[in-house]
Chain A
Amino acid sequence: MSKMLTVESNPLDCYLRVDRIPHIWCASCGIGPATGCFVRAIDRAGLNPDKVSVVSGIGCSGRVAGYIKLDSFHTTHGRALPFATGLKLANPELSVTVFSGDGDIVAIGGNHLIHSARRNIDLTVICINNFNYGMTGGQMGPTTPLDARSTTSPYGNYEYPFNLPYLVAASGATYVARWTVLHVRELERSIAEALNKRGFSFIEVLSPCPTVYGRMNKMPRGLDEMRAYKERSVIRDGADPKDVELSLNGPIAVGKFVDIERPTLWDCYQQVLDRARNRKKRKE
């Protein structure tokens, strides 16, 4: 049974739908801290909040849009990226962030992820990776480490997971980073940097899920996964994304792996608009 807490107002309340608190996330879940990093990053990036939109898909992390007091869209499972693509192209002045989970963005929405990166559309993606489907009760997914247990891999997961930074970098992302929710300062700075980066930015955020993933993988207490991040994380800025794959108990490479310049989708579309207008003029 949850107990209502009375808290003093927070300077960041202006970014939150405080009338919706308490939120639905479990105690010790990492989505809350990541959400905190995001709203502080909006401040740090100096964005006009009226021009910031958040798009989420489905799942625990998909609920972020509902707690953020910005124009916020809670869409269908896996489809936050194409929804955000339409939003951004129809009004390029908007700063659009897709905030969702690994199952949502990488499994059911995986096709949209690689194509969004390929297009280099100016979006920021914050992908909470808790290594499983939390909301439906802890099933394995495309980020679940080999041999990890879940409610649909009771004998251990027998599929290789994606190395997300490698996947999105190879697909064309111009900014790629990974942090854990233990790295609150780095994560906040990284999100702010990504928000101001023109192009497709992708930040993988490793996040504890003690209720299911942790419980099934010998990290049942709230702080166990955070402790594991502390012990296993290695900051490797500039590391080759192909070398940062994760495993059940191995080291966790964090840092900024990619930060390059490439014309965005919108930049390229400007040329199309010019050519179309010129061709029409010539016809006339």
Chain B
Amino acid sequence: MPKDEVLCGEFFINGDTACAEGAISAGCRFFAGYPITPATEVAERMSERLPQVGGVFIQMEDEIASMNAVLGASWAGVKAMTSTSGPGFSLMMENIGLGVMLETPCVVANVQRAGPSTGLPTLVAQGDMMQARWGSHGHYEIIALVPDSPQEMFDLTVQAFNLSEKYRVPVLLMADEAVGHMSEKVVIPELNSRDLVTRPRPKVTPDKYVPYDTKKGLVPPMAIAGEGYRFHVTGLTHDDRGYPTMTAQAQDKLVRRLVDKIRLNVKDITRCQEVDTEGAEVIVVSYGITARIARYAVQKARQEGIKAGLLRLITVWPFPDERIKELAAATKAFIVPEINYGQIVREVERCAAGKAKVRLVPHMGGAVPLPDVIIEAIREEAR
């Protein structure tokens, strides 16, 4: 990629803008979207930047169309993304499932606002975390990353593209309004080809190409349209050739692989940031904007002499089961603040499996929680 296409340097920009720049840096050259606050700035920035770098920006008639256009562009061999918020995320669900089924690399940024329904446009929430995991029908695995700053809006957008290309799966960037709209210093590094991943491509001639041949791994090489491979892909359950196959056996083989290609690579995919978790009696598990508030609460608690720590989820799906299990054996309690009425807390409870107490600190959205409520919860659990 020519250097002049990526704006390298230090910038004071908001999270949404940083997300768009992350996409450009990652090599994204196609964006389809529909206006929705608080994600609109991603689309606005892409409408300005993509034509400058020879990419395509198109505003579609709705989020359903946006998601499909992104899938189509990816099958033409172009890195593609869309951005949205709650109502649009709901509309995209069916075709995120199509992306999973066709094994289509792409990125969906959801800058979360408070729901249900139209809810609180332009006011913060983290209520779509389980929708990210299970929102499309059927059983599947997905990758979702959660940025806590404009810098991570950039970094994790690049990471989202890399993971989507590597594992051929839609990757969700589960931002929130506070992080999307907050302006901070963002450093845009010069990325070279080693920093960027592109999807595995077939090395065989078209006559030998089998679209979902997984003899050499769980992620099959991906042909793109127009290269003579003349492949077929379908949202129906299919065999290795991509042909519809309406049997329980084909379903078992396909779904098992779609799940396993993510599940068996949790170590490669899933990342957390830990602060003072070693020997901690109380560990706050949080993510996104809430994790920044939790970090302050943990510092305060430590000043009071409480052995508190923080585990910040950077990847929320697939969930870091193993790490939470390890910590559960050594800590008294987990505290899970989130801007919803208890979503990720269920995952922590599942992994803690009764070995440590798990306490939810909920906030219904519209504002970020104050550190005081988290500090108070830490104090109570430390007693």
Contacts and interface: CB of A to CB of B under 8 A. Distances in A.
Nearest to A14: B230
**Interface class of chain A by DSSP:** helix
Nearest to B78: A90
A42 interface: no
Contacts of A115: 60-61, 65
Interface string A58-70: 0000000110011
Given A87-B75, A111-B61, A50 B228 contact: yes
A175 B32 CA distance: 26
Given A53-B225, A75-B98, A93-B226, A86 B76 contact: yes
Given A86-B32, A90-B80, A79 B68 contact: yes
Interface in B21-80: 29-30, 32, 48, 51-52, 54, 56, 58, 60-62, 64-78, 80
8 contacts: A71-B229, A72-B233, A73-B102, A76-B235, A82-B65, A83-B72, A90-B76, A90-B77
Nearest to B106: A86
B61 A112 contact: yes
Interface string A81-124: 11111111111011000000000000000011001000000000
Interface string A244-284: 00000000000000000000000001001101110110000
Interface in A206-246: none
A31 interface: no
Contacts, number: 143
Nearest to A284: B4
Residue of B70, B227, B230, B231 most packed against chain A (CB within 10 A)? B230
Contacts of A93: 226
Contacts of A272: 51
B52 A89 contact: no
7 residue pairs, one from A and one from B, having the closest CB atoms: A86-B72, A276-B51, A86-B69, A90-B76, A74-B234, A82-B65, A90-B73
B240 interface: no
A87 B236 contact: no
Interface of B: 29-30, 32, 48, 51-52, 54, 56, 58, 60-62, 64-78, 80, 94-95, 98, 102, 223, 225-236, 243-244
A31 to B, nearest CB: 16
Nearest to A85: B69
A63 to B, nearest CB: 8
A83 B243 contact: no
B233 A83 contact: no
Contacts of A91: 76-78, 225-226
